[in-house]
């Protein structure tokens, strides 16, 4: 399990790959393509901007056997990965 925080300049798709590879203790290139689970472009678009103050977009899905939750705030992108 792990919580990984990134600055808002990070794309959500890259943050997910980095967080899962850290929890799985595997190189990111060893993970299956993210697009087989979720559309990376749609994920990035959804979490690229905060629309209103106090709104925290959140997306949860399964990836490579892990439960992944991505939350965006004004200052950071958080990825929680659990088995």
pLDDT in tens, 22-35: 999 999 999 999 99
- Provide the residue range defining the domain that includes 73: 2-82
Confidence (pTM):
0.89
- Please tell me the predicted confidence (pLDDT) of residue 8: 74
Residue 60's pLDDT is 97
pLDDT at 79: 95
Residues of the chain with pLDDT under 70: 50-54
pLDDT at position 50 is 60
Q: Tokens 């997910």 identify what position? A: 16
* H/E run at residue 17: helix 12-24
Query: What is the torsional sign of CA 52, 41, 44, 34?
Result: positive
Question: How many structural domains compose the chain?
Answer: 1
Q: Using an 8 Å Cβ cutoff, are 82 and 70 in contact? A: no
Dihedrals φ, ψ of 46, to 5°? -65, -40
């Amino acid at each position: 399990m792990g919580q990984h925080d990134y600055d808002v300049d990070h794309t959500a798709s890259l943050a997910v790959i980095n967080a899962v590879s850290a929890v799985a203790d595997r190189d990111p290139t060893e993970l299956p393509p993210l697009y087989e689970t979720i559309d990376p472009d749609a994920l990035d678009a959804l979490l690229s901007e905060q629309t209103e103050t106090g709104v925290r977009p959140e997306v949860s899905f399964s990836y490579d056997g892990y439960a992944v939750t991505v939350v965006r705030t004004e200052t950071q992108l958080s990825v929680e990965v659990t088995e």
